[in-house]
Structure 1
Amino acid sequence: MRTLISEGEIAGPDIVSCGRMIDGPDPVWDSSLIVKKPEDADQVVKKLFEQGNQCIKVYDHVKPDVLDSLRVAAHKYKMQLVGHVPHGMNAAEARLDDAQHLRGFPPAANNPDNYIEGRMQWLKMDEKRRATFVKALVEQGGAVTPTLVTIERVLASKNQETLLADKANELLPHYYRDTLWDSEEGMTAARFMNDAQMIAFETVLKEMQATVKELYEAGVPIHAGTDTMAPGVIPGASLIREIELLSESGLGPEQALVSATTLPARSLGQPVRFETGAGANFVIYRENPRENLLVLNTIEAVVAHGRLYTREMLDEQISGAIRCVCPAASGSASLEVGCQSSG
């Protein structure tokens, strides 16, 4: 798909991928590439590079010596090392080019594989620890992708009915709403949390926002990102909310927009240029979002790879995609039926 888009065969966004994640023994996801020994790092990174990937994503169980070798290999092939700060390490020790979800900032949990316990460690965050890691990232030149929206969506999960009623859910396969985010059997932290933990998560979000503020004020690049699969995190809609949360965390509207546009583009080796011959990729809004982020939903048109997609065209595509979701026979799981347009 990435090749078809880049060659103009189909419409779509530029896709920058890390390929399969790299983890250590007992990986979180079965699809991960497992690297147990430092001497294997170069071969794995080379393979991912040859597949056309532009970055290396590491996960929770990568060992410190393996991480060091992965960093060397990634930079050898001009790739960024991004992802989770592995368990047993902190944000300063990991030296990632982009540390995601603010992992490795609060003190380590006794059971780091437990999502709730890990996030609750933010209640133990103090100013001295925060300042230490901010200073380290400034010196290392690393960036951070906080994904604040994932915590906010956990809080929103308190009211499952309201969460699932979000109109943006219609743009996702029903699998997300009906299975993945199911309140009794799905992959949602809220179903394992009591009222006290839910209230505590409000403080967790505030502590994370305070950390983002200090990182930003110190000059650490902040990248807007989300975490699809997390409950209520919907591509597009959740990115807009993340931009708003970053603005509220001290970046302000314009710099929050920078965190989702020019800054990550530069980081990914695709700097934004407005000049003859530059790639024509931009959005046209009815009002100026640099002055008011609430107008991010007033898109009039999108230009991608020099092609114009008007609001009317986009709405037609969205309506067609929603109409393509057909219910299965009674008593069966729902079916997703893909549709193609002639446009």
Structure 2
Amino acid sequence: MRLLLPVLLLSAVAATPTIAAERDLYFGVTLVDPERETVTPKSYILVEDGRIVATGRGKPAAKGARRHDFTGLYALPGLIDTHAHVTLGPVDISVDKGVPKLRTLPSDDITAHNARMLLSFGVTTIRNPGGGTRENVAYARDVKAGRLAGPEMIYAAEIIDRGPFGFENLVTLVSPDRGPAAIVAEQAKAGASYVKLYSGLTEADIADAVKAADAHGLRTVAHLSSVSWQRAAELGVNSFVHMMPVSADLLPAATREAWRKDHRPGTYEFFEWYEAADLDGPEVRRLIATLAARKVHVDATLVAFQPAFWGDDPTLFERDIRYDHPAMVASWRRFRFDMGWKPADYARAKAVWPRVLDLTRRMYEAGVPMSIGTDQANPWIAPGLSVSREMALHQQAGIPAWAVLRMATSDAARLIGVGDRTGALRPGLEADILFIAADPRPDLDRVADVRAVVNNGTRLAPERLRAGK
């Protein structure tokens, strides 16, 4: 049973709009420290000028501080979603002279909605692995200047790919007169911290992009299929997204050519690859060992694939749409990962789902660096809330709760390069704090029961954020 809070406390939190932080004492809380794996009741957090200056037991005098009695609440570091396309809008599909034309339709209103929802569920930092360069630059600038309420964003610019057609506001295509190195240079100049590499790139493209990214001090994040994760890691790619390493080169030799010949293009490979893969085979074992040895970062985005695998069950994929922007929901009803799937496809997908969770657990147990990412902006992902859904799926995969909590906080902060500023409840770090109603360890879905958020020292009321206030 969830912990019931006093009515006065609930009223105080709900009635509190954004309050500029100067010196604030939060006391009576239970500190949950994923790094030390400790739970400490009757504790306090003292915040001054946007930073944590002290934590401890009891209720110190803290002269001049505003005092907040949060007795009964549990305090965690602010969450980090390492796969949040916060600036993307709905997908528009048209055909021009027989050629498909895809584009996203950016909207300031949708971006602001996503940002508020993320904050309302305690997400104070995100990695955005690809979006319109102009929109991502504007978001980072406006949040930093205080013109937009949202999580701090570490971002890639437009995704780099090859292909027969582009994806306006999301993808930049390599061309004979504009290769990967030139695109990377442009994105570095625009202020990106990451370069996103996509599945249509050749091995030579990836090598050129990695070399250019290293020269400009940028990290690389990749969504690949034809070029295997194994080869891309050897070429120096820093991180991969989605627990879908769907390359034929990672299949057993006995099934590899048949899969190349018979598998269907598109999203069917999400389950067809797992049907053909041998998770105990040398190809997958070598991949996992390589990722662990090279410290290549993976975010699994399980929550992005679960709605497709259960796409014949609307109760699952529509459970959280009240937190999504209506324009995004309307887009997803037209454009989904499981478009064209038949009943037999859903049955096959559900049958391999335990193998997806198994591979996730194997990577964790081997020491592959992992974080929590949702692929927010893709179908049926609720900004903020889906972070707790993703954490719960990792727990279902057999990963200990403490490890998953680190994946969503200190591990993620370190992996995306902000661990010196956030990711823990430690003096000297930014005051990014999540207050929830109950101990999250038995059931990580409890992380969604947010009662208050502190972002860079500023206290926020979740109800007001969700109401657009």
Structure 1 residues 1-343: aligned runs within 5 Å = 1-27=139-165, 29-31=167-169, 32-36=171-175, 40-85=179-224, 87-95=225-233, 96-105=237-246, 107=248, 109-110=260-261, 113-126=265-278, 127-128=280-281, 129-160=283-314, 162-163=315-316, 165-166=318-319, 168-178=320-330, 180-182=331-333, 186-271=334-419, 272-309=423-460, 313-318=461-466, 320-321=467-468, 341=469
User: RCO higher in 1 or 2 (8 Å CA, sep ≥ 6)?
Assistant: 2
Counterpart contact for 2:307–2:317, Cα < 8 Å: no
Gaps of 5+ in 2: 1-138, 249-258
Aligned to 2:112: none
Computed over aligned residues only, the root mean square deviation of the Cα atoms, in angstroms, reads: 2.3
Q: Deviations over 1:156-205 (max 9, x none)?
A: 32123x24652x31222222323x222xxx11243411222111111332
Counterpart contact for 1:151–1:205, Cα < 8 Å: no
Aligned to 1:327: none
CA 170–65 in structure 1, closer or farther in 2 if over 3 Å, else same: same
Q: Deviations over 1:223-249 (max 9, x none)?
A: 211223433222222221111111121
TM-score between both structures, scaled by the size of structure 1: 0.83
Mapped to 2, the partners of 1:66 and 1:295 lie a distance apart of 43
CA 276–222 in structure 1, closer or farther in 2 if over 3 Å, else same: closer
Which entry has the higher C-alpha Rg, 1 or 2? 2
Aligned to 1:334: none
Counterpart contact for 1:38–1:66, Cα < 8 Å: no
Counterpart contact for 1:36–1:63, Cα < 8 Å: no
TM-score between both structures, scaled by the size of structure 2: 0.62
Counterpart contact for 2:388–2:446, Cα < 8 Å: no
Mapped to 2, the partners of 1:294 and 1:173 lie a distance apart of 22
Mapped to 2, the partners of 1:146 and 1:29 lie a distance apart of 24
Q: Deviations over 1:93-115 (max 9, x none)?
A: 11121111133355365567411
Q: Give the strand-richer structure, 1 or 2.
A: 2
Mapped to 1, the partners of 2:194 and 2:368 lie a distance apart of 20
Deviation at 1:267, TM superposition (A): 1.1
Counterpart contact for 1:147–1:225, Cα < 8 Å: yes
Mapped to 1, the partners of 2:205 and 2:184 lie a distance apart of 12
Q: Determine helix, strand or coil for the equivalent of 1:278.
A: coil
Mapped to 2, the partners of 1:253 and 1:239 lie a distance apart of 14
Mapped to 1, the partners of 2:418 and 2:384 lie a distance apart of 20
Paired residue type of 2:266: N
Mapped to 1, the partners of 2:371 and 2:166 lie a distance apart of 24
Q: Give the helix-richer structure, 1 or 2.
A: 1
Gaps of 5+ in 1: 322-340
CA 28–197 in structure 1, closer or farther in 2 if over 3 Å, else same: farther
Mapped to 2, the partners of 1:112 and 1:191 lie a distance apart of 13
Q: Deviations over 1:63-87 (max 9, x none)?
A: 11010011111122221110212x4
Mapped to 1, the partners of 2:326 and 2:192 lie a distance apart of 30
Question: % of aligned pairs identical?
Answer: 20
Deviation at 1:36, TM superposition (A): 4.1
Mapped to 2, the partners of 1:53 and 1:113 lie a distance apart of 32
Paired residue type of 2:396: E
